């Protein structure tokens, strides 16, 4: 697991004088800094928003939107330290690009942000709360048909917010 | 020969078109912006006046004259808001300009500040965030989450200058109490530039789609309602939508004037028209954002 502190990346790539993630130019620079930290394997990169005060939508698009578009199929990403105002900037970006990403808020609650069909969103909620589970357990708990549950889990895997291992599905986590 | 451009005595978004009409009127010669009788000007009026001077300078026009307000308190406020300092670049000033503006506690949250590049946007947002947080939560009674959205809206509005105007612009933020107009305290953000405006910015990608309907009003509709941008990048065009969402959540007002049209997101407390076109032409784009104090069931 690679931990990426956005404030550190901002200081390294743009300026230590800035505390906010604003402007496209800053977003591009920060994304490049993150890309340089990504490992080649399937490990999860945890991007820490905890030290970031403000992020605008242009930066959200450059940092999270374009990062997921470029690397979302080769890496798992999770966001931590996300507060409501960060979500306000992130959600339209994710919806616009039809992307989804795991986010942990400041209370430690895990959720998925972005574009997902409702059964997949409910399935993620179940896995986040209950831990790893097979498809039939997801179907039974959420009162879904087996086919719908399998489709929902496949969607979550395609979006790289859930991993499958030995027939069990597990939400991507920040720790 | 000198052509007089009247600066309204109460110079704000409601009298701006009167100012623009005088600015756009036919007639050659050196321009004299006459503000001697001005009694009050909002941030929107002041950045608009600077924009007029900037546009004349950037089109190679003769340096215009500006008579400052005669009223001592008014001209001191113009100085405190940062107007006089910047106006010296574009106007030959006449009248008594205060040498040094008094600083300290003030309703001016952000004095008139040039926006030319991304660094300016960082500085503006960084400078204002703490004071804006205090005012939004303590004076306007908004939830703490309003603070971050305020910074986001301010940042996106300033970035429109950097990304689209093709020249620099201005931003100013002020809080005051609208006793007659609303009976509440408000925070007002005014952003203006002397750039190409929405129609020219979007012309290459949108004009064909609109055909005969293509105009300043159509360009505003494309940008504000449909979220289109001159960039092909699908991630673009979200900034104004984000501003609209923020102001809608806090019952605020957004008005964007560009060229000969103005589009407004009208809150329940206001009676502005959603779209006005065939206005007197004015250079660039002027953005007005108003966040009012929270009232129960308001």
Q: Which pLDDT does position B297 carry in this prediction?
A: 59
Mean pLDDT of B42-70: 96
Q: How far is CA B84 from CA B34, B68, B77, B111, in A?
A: 14, 9, 10, 11
With 80 as the cut, is the pLDDT of residue B46 above it?
A: yes
With 80 as the cut, is the pLDDT of residue A71 above it?
A: yes
CATH code for residues A116-175: 1.10.10.10
Residue A44's SS3 state is strand
Average pLDDT in chain A = 93
Mean pLDDT of B77-81: 93
Q: Which pLDDT does position B133 carry in this prediction?
A: 85
Q: How many residues does chain B have?
A: 298
- Identify the sign of the CA torsion B202, B120, B109, A8: positive
With 90 as the cut, is the pLDDT of residue A82 above it?
A: yes
CATH code for residues A1-115: 3.30.750
Please tell me if residue B159 touches chain A, with a CB cutoff of 8 Å.
yes
Nearest to A96 among B126, B145, B238 (CB): B238
Mean pLDDT of A32-53: 89
Write out the residues of chain A at the interface with chain B, using a CB-CB cutoff of 8 A: 15, 18-20, 22-26, 53-58, 61-62, 65-66, 83-86, 88-89, 92-93, 96-97
Long-range contacts of A111-120 (CB under 8 A, 24+ apart): A112/A156, A112/A161, A113/A79, A113/A82, A113/A87, A114/A90, A116/A155, A116/A156, A116/A159, A117/A152, A117/A155, A119/A144, A119/A148, A119/A149, A119/A151, A119/A152, A120/A151, A120/A152, A120/A153, A120/A155, A120/A156, A120/A159
Nearest to A18 among B126, B163, B241 (CB): B126
Q: Which pLDDT does position B102 carry in this prediction?
A: 53
Closest by alpha carbon to A100, among A129, A124, A136? A124
CATH code for residues B108-298: 3.30.565.10
pLDDT tens for A111-170 read 999 989 999 999 999 999 999 999 999 999 999 999 999 999 999 999 999 999 999 999
pLDDT tens for B202-247 read 999 989 999 999 999 999 999 999 988 888 787 787 889 999 999 9
Residue B215 has φ and ψ, to the nearest 5°, of -165, 180
List helix spans (H) across chain B: 16-24, 43-58, 72-80, 83-90, 118-134, 145-160, 197-210, 216-224, 239-249
What letter does residue A21 receive in the DSSP assignment? Answer: B
Neighbours of A121 (CB within 10 A): 17
Please tell me if residue B152 touches chain A, with a CB cutoff of 8 Å.
yes
Query: Which residues have C-beta within 8 Å of that of residue B105, sequence separation ≥ 6?
Result: none
**CA–CA gap between residue B152 and residue A54 (Å, rounded):** 7
Among the ranges A11-15, A65-69, A73-77, B206-210, which has the highest mean pLDDT value?
A65-69
Q: Which pLDDT does position B298 carry in this prediction?
A: 47
pLDDT tens for B259-273 read 999 999 999 999 999
Q: Which pLDDT does position B146 carry in this prediction?
A: 86
Name the residue ranges covered by the structural domains of chain B: 1-98, 108-298
In angstroms, the first-to-last Cα distance of chain B is: 53
CB–CB contact B156 A56 (8 Å) = yes
Neighbours of B27 (CB within 10 A): 10
Return the C-alpha torsion angle B118, A56, B196, B247, nearest 10: -140
Given the candidates 3.40.605.10, 3.30.70.600, 3.40.50.2000, 3.30.750.24, the CATH classification of the domain at B1-98 is 3.30.750.24
CB–CB contact A18 B234 (8 Å) = no
The complex's ipTM works out to: 0.84
CB–CB contact A88 B159 (8 Å) = no
CB–CB contact B122 A26 (8 Å) = yes
Closest by alpha carbon to B163, among B256, B215, B237, B224? B237
CB–CB contact A58 B159 (8 Å) = yes
Please report which helix (H) or strand (E) contains residue B67, including its range: strand B65-67
**CA–CA gap between residue B242 and residue B289 (Å, rounded):** 13
- Contact between B152 and B246 under an 8 Å Cβ cutoff? The reply is yes
Q: Which pLDDT does position B176 carry in this prediction?
A: 87
With 90 as the cut, is the pLDDT of residue A108 above it?
A: no
Q: Which pLDDT does position B30 carry in this prediction?
A: 93
- pLDDT band, very low/low/confident/very high, at A100 (cuts 50, 70, 90): very high
Closest by alpha carbon to A64, among A106, A114, A110? A114
Please tell me if residue B72 touches chain A, with a CB cutoff of 8 Å.
no
* Rounded percentage of chain A residues whose pLDDT exceeds 90: 82
**CA–CA gap between residue A9 and residue A34 (Å, rounded):** 7
Pairing of strands B30-34, B2-6: parallel
Mean pLDDT of B104-124: 86
Please tell me if residue B115 touches chain A, with a CB cutoff of 8 Å.
no
Q: What is the pTM of this model?
A: 0.90
- pLDDT band, very low/low/confident/very high, at B100 (cuts 50, 70, 90): low
With 70 as the cut, is the pLDDT of residue B105 above it?
A: no
Closest by alpha carbon to B129, among A107, A50, A18? A18
Which tokens sit at A27?
């977003």
């Amino acid at each position: 697991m690679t931990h990426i502190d956005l404030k550190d990346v901002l200081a390294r790539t743009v300026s230590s004088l800035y505390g906010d993630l604003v402007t496209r130019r800053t977003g591009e620079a920060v994304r490049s800094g993150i890309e340089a930290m990504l490992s080649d394997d399937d490990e999860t990169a945890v991007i820490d928003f905890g030290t970031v005060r403000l992020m605008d939508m242009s930066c959200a698009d450059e940092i999270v939107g374009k990062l997921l578009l470029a690397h979302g199929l080769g890496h798992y990403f999770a966001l931590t330290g996300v507060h409501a105002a960060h979500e306000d900037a992130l959600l339209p970006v994710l919806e616009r690009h039809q992307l989804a990403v795991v986010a942990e808020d400041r209370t430690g609650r895990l959720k998925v942000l972005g574009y997902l069909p409702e059964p997949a969103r409910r399935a993620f909620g179940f896995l986040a709360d209950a831990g790893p589970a097979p498809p039939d357990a997801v179907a039974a708990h959420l009162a879904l048909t087996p086919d719908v549950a399998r489709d929902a889990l496949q969607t979550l895997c395609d979006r790289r917010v859930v991993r499958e291992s030995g027939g069990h599905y597990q939400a991507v986590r920040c720790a | 020969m000198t052509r007089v451009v009247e600066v309204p005595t109460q110079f704000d978004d409601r009298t701006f078109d009167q100012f623009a009409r005088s600015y756009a009127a036919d007639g050659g010669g050196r321009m004299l912006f006459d503000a001697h009788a001005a009694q009050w000007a909002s941030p929107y009026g002041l950045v608009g006046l600077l924009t007029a001077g900037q546009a004349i300078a950037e089109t190679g026009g003769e340096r215009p004259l500006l008579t400052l307000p005669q009223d001592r308190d008014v001209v001191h406020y113009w100085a405190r808001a940062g107007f006089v300092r910047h106006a010296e670049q574009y106007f030959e000033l006449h009248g008594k300009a205060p040498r040094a503006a008094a600083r300290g506690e003030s309703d001016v949250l952000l004095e008139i500040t040039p926006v030319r590049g991304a660094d300016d946007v960082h500085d503006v947002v960084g400078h204002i965030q703490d004071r804006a947080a205090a005012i939004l939560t303590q004076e306007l009674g908004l939830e703490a989450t309003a603070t971050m959205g305020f910074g986001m809206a301010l940042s996106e509005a300033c970035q429109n200058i950097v990304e689209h105007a093709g020249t620099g612009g201005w931003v100013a933020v002020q809080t005051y109490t609208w006793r007659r107009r609303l009976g509440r305290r408000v925070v007002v953000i005014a952003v203006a530039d002397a750039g190409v405006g929405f129609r020219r910015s979007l012309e290459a990608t949108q004009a064909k789609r609109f055909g005969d309907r293509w105009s300043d009003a159509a360009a505003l509709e494309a940008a504000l309602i449909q979220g289109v941008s001159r960039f092909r990048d699908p991630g673009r065009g979200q900034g104004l939508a984000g501003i609209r969402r923020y102001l809608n959540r806090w019952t605020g007002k957004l008005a964007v004037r560009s060229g000969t049209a103005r589009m407004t997101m009208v809150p329940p407390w206001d009676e502005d028209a959603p779209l006005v076109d065939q206005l007197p032409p004015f250079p660039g784009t002027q953005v007005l954002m108003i966040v009012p104090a929270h009232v129960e069931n308001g």
